[in-house]
Amino acid sequence: MCRWGLSRNASIAAASELTAAVHDGGITHIVAGPGTYEMDPSDVCSSTSYSWLCVTTPNLIIEAAEPGTVVLNATKQGRRVFYITASGAELSGLNITGGQATARCAASRGW
């Protein structure tokens, strides 16, 4: 059976579910329910990026079910919330707070 072009969606309501969905690789659309998602200090997706969520799935969409009702909180962690290496990633309706803000050139996409 050809699976090209199929996408999987995930509706999440907890930080651990967000982490699992982003790192799944087969999920292409994540919808987060209202709330504050606190970064777990033990959740680091890469020892080189020292980030919470490593986006490696091309065209991954992460959005709030209702814009402005989702907070991704990395306060006190001193880490990036996202490390994006895939092309076409889309973040929509999310409030991102805490953590480090690091800009790099587009070639490395280490945001």
Answer for the pair 94, 32: CB distance below 8 angstroms, yes or no: yes
Q: How far is CA 78 from CA 28, 47, 52, 85, in A?
A: 28, 14, 10, 20
3-48 confidence digits (pLDDT tens) = 445 568 999 999 999 999 998 989 999 999 999 999 877 777 765 6
88-101 confidence digits (pLDDT tens) = 999 999 999 887 76
Residue-wise burial string across 31-41, b where 16 or more C-beta atoms lie within 10 A, e elsewhere: bbeeeebbbee
Token pair in block for residue 31? 């919808």
Return the biggest CA–CA distance within the chain: 47
What pLDDT does residue 99 have? 75
Averaged pLDDT, 48-72: 90
Q: Report the predicted TM-score, pTM, of the whole model to 2 decimal places.
A: 0.80
Choose among 4, 52, 6: nearest CA to 27.
6
Answer for the pair 10, 30: CB distance below 8 angstroms, yes or no: yes
Secondary structure E strands in 45-106: 51-55, 61-64, 70-74, 80-84, 90-92, 94-98
Residue with tokens 């990395």: 74
